[in-house]
Amino acid sequence: MNFRRRGQREEPEINFIPLIDLLLVILIFLMVTTTYSRFSELQVSLPQAEGKAEEKKSAELRVEVSRDGEYRVNGSRPADKSVAALSTLLKTLSSGKQNPVVIISADAQATHQSVVSVMEAARFAGLSQLTFSTQSVAP
């Protein structure tokens, strides 16, 4: 049995018309959904800086905290290690000075409680400006 046809074989063809229709639909969809943004410039008026003479340096109260938890305020020691004694010394040394800054310089081995006690004593003395002194480590 011979199932082959004796005639010429037809070559398969690719129909490009549906492919072109699909591409046109995609192109129209992209053109409709694309947003074209325009860059708009904002009018900003920047503040002008004026140089002033350097203000007077405020008074400083340097509180040193040792690793034992002992305090020194500008070189003088309070009567004891209590917060009340330290607060009284800070209040005495800050009288007559306008807005003194308390600089806390604590040893690396000092307890956190001793540093917090200095902050509390400064609050009791009515001193609100606190800062910490640090030392940079050499590379």
- Domain parsing of the chain, residue ranges: 60-132
Dist CA 130 CA 100 (whole Å): 9
Q: Give the residue among 111, 101, 90, 104 at the shortest CA–CA distance from 133.
A: 104
What pLDDT shows up at residue 28?
92
- Number of other CB atoms surrounding residue 85 within 10 Å: 15
Q: Distance of alpha carbon 4 from its chain centroid, rounded? A: 83
| DSSP 8-state secondary structure symbol assigned to residue 38 | -
Rg of the chain over all Cα atoms, to the nearest angstrom? 41
What pLDDT shows up at residue 24?
95
User: What's the CATH number of domain 60-132, 3.40.50.300, 3.30.420.10, 3.30.420.270, 3.40.50.10800?
Assistant: 3.30.420.270
Identify the sign of the CA torsion 84, 88, 93, 97: positive
How many alpha carbons fall within 13 Å on the CB side of residue 23?
5
- For tokens 């350097």, what's the residue? 54
What pLDDT shows up at residue 40?
64
What pLDDT shows up at residue 5?
62
pLDDT in tens, the chain (139 residues): 566 666 677 788 888 899 999 999 999 998 888 877 666 666 666 667 676 666 666 788 888 888 888 888 888 888 888 888 888 888 888 888 888 888 888 888 888 888 899 899 988 888 888 888 877 665 5
| DSSP 8-state secondary structure symbol assigned to residue 54 | P
| Amino acid present at 103 | I
Contact call for residues 119 and 130 (beta carbons, < 8 A): yes
The pTM assigned to this predicted structure is 0.55
Dist CA 79 CA 91 (whole Å): 14
